[in-house]
Amino acid sequence: MRFTYSIPETLALNDEFYCRPRRKNLALERCLDDFMEANAFERRRSVCFRCPQGRRNRETFAGGVAGEDE
């Protein structure tokens, strides 16, 4: 049985992507800031609260930064 592993694409903070909950293009920096703030302060009315796309962006960005230290 074979397992394949793909390395996620490293993103820069100024890269833009389409944010589905907000329905517009958004910089990664803004996404990470809003996602962390909404979850840290439990702002449940925010579209960023527990956003799966924001969580994936955070994990991808954190993985890319951690890999550079090695």
Q: What is the pLDDT of residues 7-63, one digit of tens each?
A: 556 678 889 999 999 999 999 999 999 999 999 999 999 999 999 999 999 998 887
- Residue 45 inside a domain? The answer is yes
- Residue 22 inside a domain? The answer is yes
Q: Please tell me the total count of domains within the chain.
A: 1
- Residue 52 inside a domain? The answer is yes
- Residue 50 inside a domain? The answer is yes
- Residue 58 inside a domain? The answer is yes
**59 three-state secondary structure:** helix
Residue 49: give the domain boundaries.
16-65
- Residue 10 inside a domain? The answer is no
Looking at residue 36, its amino acid is M
- Residue 7 inside a domain? The answer is no
Interior angle at CA 44, CA 27 and CA 65, nearest 5: 35
